[in-house]
Amino acid sequence: MSSALAKYEDFLVRNVSTISSVESSLRSITWFLPGRFKDAELASEALSALLNVTSLYHDTLLARIVQSDPKWKPILPLPLHTKYTRAWCNKDKAYTWIARVLELIRFTQLLIEMGMRRKLSDKNRWRGIVIIEAIKVALRLALLRITRRPLVSPPIPERDLDPASLPPSSIHSSPTLAPTTPLASPPATPDHFKNNYMPLEPSSLMLTPPPPGRSDTSVEDYLLPKALTTSSVRPSLQLVKPLTSVQDWIAEGIYILRPLIYVTMLSAKKHKDRALVTAFAFDLLSRNLRRAPSASASVERDEYARRDRDLAWYLLRGSVWELYTRPKLESLIEKVAHVPLLSLVGAVVKDWVPLIDEYYYYTAL
């Protein structure tokens, strides 16, 4: 088994660009499968879950490869979210495993719900959803206890590796295989580096002054976004400041608990509209209680901006979806049914509308 795993890892390292392209192509296909045949949504979600899980394994393997080479440096600076989450993964093994389990649940929760809907009664299906949300709340509270900082999503580093930036030695060996013999000769010098001793004649564009009354700010406009900021040089674990006040802890606790409260009320079937209003009220309460991050706290500001954007999902939930959004969407689909190209988009959206009615995790909190 270990030999087969090592061969697969070696195959992945040798063909990382091709595998990434295949993953992207298959992930695009999953958007068009629902409605094509019986249980097409189950096949689509099974494929999506498989791709996400394998991508998580591939990301872990590639990160292990580059970290094993002390000379490796990324071509572009790492995103701040990646720096922050990778620092926590390197510091605390418990954080790493809890975050991975949380991501595995997120990748497979809709597939699990589809299986429960086909095998269990509606009451037991909702019990299963409540159990899943309870597990997720427990894992998030564990992450909050470890970091003592607002949670970021996703809690693990996202793929940020350019295959061309992999260390040369990793192209010929994987972490689980014995290292291969080094190459007999050094790699050839690229052609565009060979003639680097010839003087370069200045371009006329460089010698021509800008027109009168017009300042040449194109260079400054290009360079300013790429300039180092305080976040770029700050220690990775300090990119998000710890929670200090009781109000900060309450705001984060409300945000973590609200999905469990929402599905618990939904499972009762008697408080569907009240559940939606309660969840929305908890979201607004958490938003108003949370601290205002400083201008240099990019990771925390991005996380809060994502949470604010997620409020738009309420248009696809409960009575708001049934009485407002769905009728508007169905009317729009009918209008574009005979319009070239737009009719194809409308047909895909039409196949997804029933799934929002049937499954909780398509629009889950």
> So what's the pLDDT on residue 334?
92
Same domain, 93 and 3: no
361 part of a folded domain: no
DSSP-derived letter for residue 6 is H
276 contacts 319 by C-beta, under 8 angstroms: yes
pLDDT in tens, 259-281: 999 999 999 877 788 999 999 99
Distance in angstroms (rounded) separating the CA atoms of residues 221 and 67 = 34
Both 104 and 242 in one domain: the answer is: yes
**Residue spans of the chain under pLDDT 50:** 170-184
Q: Which of 89, 43, 83, 114 is nearest to 302 (CA)?
A: 83
Determine, yes or no, domain membership for 184.
no
Same domain, 124 and 269: yes
Res 1: pLDDT: 59
Return the pLDDT at 179: 45
Last residue of a domain, one of 69, 88, 119: 69
Decide: 152 and 75 in contact? Cβ < 8 Å: no
SS (H, E, C) 23-81: HHHHHHHCCCCCCCCCCHHHHHHHHHHHHHHHHHHHHHHHHHHHHCCCCCCCCCCCCHH
Q: Is residue 217 part of a domain?
A: no
Give CA–CA dist 317/309, Å, rounded: 15
Domain membership flag for residue 179: no
Same domain, 6 and 96: no
Assess whether 133 and 247 both reside in one domain. Answer: yes
**Are 148 and 272 members of one domain?**
yes
Residues 310 and 268 in one domain: yes
**Same-domain pairing of 95 and 54:** no
Do the domain assignments include residue 357? no
The answer on 157 and 86 residing in a single domain is yes
Pairwise CA distance, residues 133 & 261, whole Å: 9
CB proximity list for 32: less than 8 A, separation 6 or greater: 348
- Residue 182: left (phi > 0), alpha (psi -120 to 50), or beta? beta
Give the structural domain span for 102.
80-163+238-314
Please indicate, yes or no, whether residues 84 and 157 belong to a single structural domain of this protein. Answer: yes
In-domain check, residue 142: yes
Main-chain phi, psi angles of 123, to 5 degrees: -65, -45
| pLDDT reported for residue 61 | 82
The reported pLDDT for the residue numbered 164 is: 53
Based on the fold, state whether residues 95 and 43 are members of the same structural domain. no
Does any domain span residue 223? no
CB 151 within 8 A of CB 143: yes
Comparing CA positions, the residue from 304, 293, 292, 291 lying closest to residue 250 is 291
Could you tell me if residue 355 is inside a domain?
no
> What number of residues does the chain have?
365
pLDDT recorded at residue 265: 93
Question: Do both 40 and 155 map to the same domain?
Answer: no
Number of domains into which the chain is organized:
2
Q: Which of 271, 286, 314 is the last residue of a domain?
A: 314
What are φ and ψ of residue 269, in 5° steps?
70, -15
Mean predicted lDDT score pLDDT of the chain = 83
Q: Are 324 and 317 in contact (CB under 8 A)?
A: no
